[in-house]
Amino acid sequence: MTLLEVSKISKRAETDFTLEPISFSQRKLQKIAIAGETGSGKSTLMKIIAGLVQPDEGQVIFEGKAIEGPQDKLIPGHPGISYLSQHFELPKFLRVEQVLAYSNMLTDQQANTIYEVCEITHLLKRKTDQLSGGERQRIALAKLLIASPRLLLLDEPFTNLDMIHKNTLKAVIRNIGKELKITCMLISHDAVDILSWADQIVVMRNGQMVQKAAPEKIYRQPADEYVAGLFGKYTLIDLTQSPEFSRILKVNTKGKRLFIRPENFNIAKRSKTSMPGKVNKISFCGSYYELEVSIATNVIIVTTPTCSLKSGDPVYISLADYFLL
Ligand SMILES: Nc1ncnc2c1ncn2[C@@H]1O[C@H](COP(=O)(O)OP(=O)(O)OP(=O)(O)O)[C@@H](O)[C@H]1O
């Protein structure tokens, strides 16, 4: 069932930024992530959806009705939609439970479930100035959830969190759909957060939507180099300039280049299907090693779970998969 329909919304800012007409829809409980470089229009898009910024053209339909923008309403926003801003504020000098009481639209039991999901039950008696950044973020999220929204919009909720607190908040956000049955849209700069969480990813650049697709498609078959680069490292090979590659791969690339993610190169034995190269650099990245390898005039990025090579070693490389870009 369609919950949200974004229909040709556009916005010209006073700066030279323009949000070009954007359309997409979101089903109930579908998880949509918005990705894009800084200044690409992610927050503007999300604020228009929340009813906090007036679009110049187009409309947002939520549960079958058009959302009114701030020009049409005394108090901007929609009661069914909660927006967690990058710059949220918690009221000062109050206890957490007092802050939450003002927003609560639920029974005590339902609210307690949300406090548990957000892992803030032990913080309720604290003053709002006695909290860490991660605790503040989880309380801000709980405050929105107890207002009982049907759509939750999260604008970079993981900023400024260390790995441990980020993982706690990620688990909370993962459970929002499952346990609380609230549909979620998320903006994040982190490729891993987005790829592992979203059902669909909307990629923005210069105010335009450049691709909307499932995470695997965005990662493996990006629309262009910009999308490719947002979601990890890659190598591009022009077969007309790369005889080593054209020897092992006989395909008509139709003027396109081979797009290869690092895990799609393998360290191999010398054979008809492998290419000789030289290791330039090895970086240990925790669960894998990243190698920079020269193959004739090309420099490729290869990842491998184990590595007994060192810089300067000769190596043979085979190709497991590629996409034409
Ligand atoms: N209130 C405003 N008035 C005028 N211009 C604005 C306003 N808010 C944002 N902009 C401009 O609109 C453009 C898009 O901003 P937006 O915040 O939507 O981008 P973003 O993709 O969310 O960026 P970031 O990842 O840095 O948060 C930027 O060039 C910004 O300077």
Domains of the chain, first to last: 2-229 (3.40.50.300), 235-324 (2.40.50.140)
Cα angle vertex 176, ends 170, 181, to 5°?
160
Identify the pLDDT of residue 161: 74
The pLDDT value recorded for residue 65 is 95
Residues 318 and 273: beta-carbon distance below 8 Å? yes
Residue 208 Cβ contacting ligand 1 at under 6 Å: no
pLDDT at 41: 95
pLDDT at residue 176, rounded to an integer: 81
Task: Return the structure tokens found at 160.
Answer: 């400024």
**Residue identifier of the C-alpha nearest atom 16 of ligand 1:** 41
Q: Is 38 in the pocket of ligand 1 (CB under 6 A)?
A: yes
Q: Hey, how many other C-beta atoms are within 10 angstroms of the C-beta on 187?
A: 24
Give the separation between CA 93 and CA 111, rounded to whole angstroms. 22
Q: At what angle do helices 133-145 and 108-117 cross, to 10 degrees?
A: 140
Between 133-145 and 96-103, two packed helices, what is the crossing angle to 10 degrees? 30
pLDDT of residue 190: 86
| Ligand 1 touching residue 70 (CB < 6 A) | no
42 lines ligand 1 (CB under 6 A): yes
Which of 14, 44, 85, 158 best tests ligand 1's pocket when mutated (most atoms within 8 Å of CB)?
A: 44
**ipTM > 0.95?**
no
Ligand 1 center to 56 CA (angstroms): 16
Beta strands per DSSP E along the chain: 2-12, 18-27, 32-36, 57-62, 65-66, 81-84, 151-155, 183-187, 200-205, 208-213, 235-237, 258-260, 265-268, 275-284, 289-295, 298-304, 314-319, 323-324
pLDDT, position 119: 86
- The reported pLDDT for the residue numbered 110 is 86
16 Cα nearest atom in ligand 1:
29
Whether the Cβ atoms of residue 125 and residue 133 lie closer than 8 Å to each other: no
Which residue of 11, 12, 37, 43 sits with most ligand 1 atoms within 8 Å of its CB, as the best mutation to test the pocket?
43
- Give pLDDT, residue 114: 85
Segments in the chain below pLDDT 50: none
Q: Is 287 close to ligand 1, i.e. is its CB under 6 Å away?
A: no
Q: Which long-range contacts (CB under 8 A, 24 or more apart) does 291-297 make?
A: 291/267, 291/315, 293/265, 293/317, 295/242, 295/244, 295/245, 296/242, 296/243, 296/244, 297/241, 297/242
CA distances from 291 to 23, 235, 279 (A): 40, 12, 7
What's the pLDDT score for residue 250?
83
Q: What is the rounded distance in angstroms from the CA atom of residue 33 to the CA atom of residue 160?
A: 19
Dist. CA 221 → ligand 1 center (Å): 28
Q: Please say whether the beta carbons of 199 and 33 come within 8 A.
A: no
Looking at residue 37, what is its pLDDT?
95
